[in-house]
Homo-oligomer: A and B are copies of this chain.
Amino acid sequence: MTILYQIPGDISAGPLGSGELLRRLGLLRGWAAAGTTVEIADTPGGPFSIESAAEEAMCVAPTLDALARRTSQPDAVIVGCFGDPGLAALRETLDCPVIGPFEASMHLGAQLGNRVGVVTVVDGVIPVLDRLARAMGETLNYAGAVAVNVNVLDLRAHSATLADTIIDAGRALVRERRADVLVLGCMSMAFLGMAEAIGDRCGVPILNPARVALKTAEAMAALGVRQSRRTYPRPAKPLRLGVKEHV
């Protein structure tokens, strides 16, 4: 089975560069089950990083465009951003299951404890996640999010202290918001190995959303299921992909 990890941002064109793509692919392959082929792609024209509702919205059209240009179709697609941008749009347009890391982590985390909290990058992402949790119907299982207030592109520069900062935030979620399970709320945190570094130092399980999304993708592909066409019908007319609006 082939799983495509589609990053909706334009990592290759940004400060991290295409080497970061290969680094992440290596990690994903290490996490994959026997028999799973992982591919990775980023999205030309997408944001360099995604940490606002505006960037979440802006990355969808180029992602749909990038996916439409592929010649081979994977067995499942993971949206490589924790805010699950474009999840419904991709489900409408693709014939394979599409996995959102936040959605997948909430649903797996809710099987580990009553309330799932999120440690994310910046305060600005929190209201986006709060409304997503509502839209998912997960208000009772969602303990809320707290931010470490380090921008995505600065995470590496803070890597020496990042785990401790996340632990402080996670413990606050446990103590003040009664979280029973934690999720790292940013894929860049996930690929820096933070969940593994933290282990049980918050006293509760801490989920790596990249790995949860990968396992969910493998599960869906193995089950041979995909999204309901009642919730995610195919668009009735062709999408205007790749339109150059300002010539």
Task: Report whether A131 and B114 are in contact in the complex, using a CB–CB cutoff of 8 Å.
Answer: yes
Task: Report whether A89 and B207 are in contact in the complex, using a CB–CB cutoff of 8 Å.
Answer: no
B-facing mask of A157-190, CB < 8 A → 1, else 0? 0000000000000000010001011000000000
Contact of A130 among B114, B207, B241 (CB under 8 A): B114
Secondary structure type dominating chain A contacts: loop
Residue A88 is within 8 A (CB to CB) of chain B in the complex? yes
**Known contacts A180-B230, A223-B212; A110 and B112 CB within 8 A of each other:** no
Residue among A34, A113, A174 with the highest chain B CB neighbour number at 10 A = A113
Q: Beyond the given A114-B127, A205-B228, could you list 4 further A-B residue pairs with CB under 8 A, ordered by the A residue number?
A: A45-B240, A62-B245, A107-B107, A204-B229
Task: Report whether B235 and A54 are in contact in the complex, using a CB–CB cutoff of 8 Å.
Answer: yes
Q: Tell me which residues across on chain B come within 8 A of A49, comparing CB atoms.
A: 237
User: In the complex, A236→B232 CA distance in Å?
Assistant: 33
**Known contacts A34-B35, A54-B235, A57-B86; A138 and B135 CB within 8 A of each other:** no
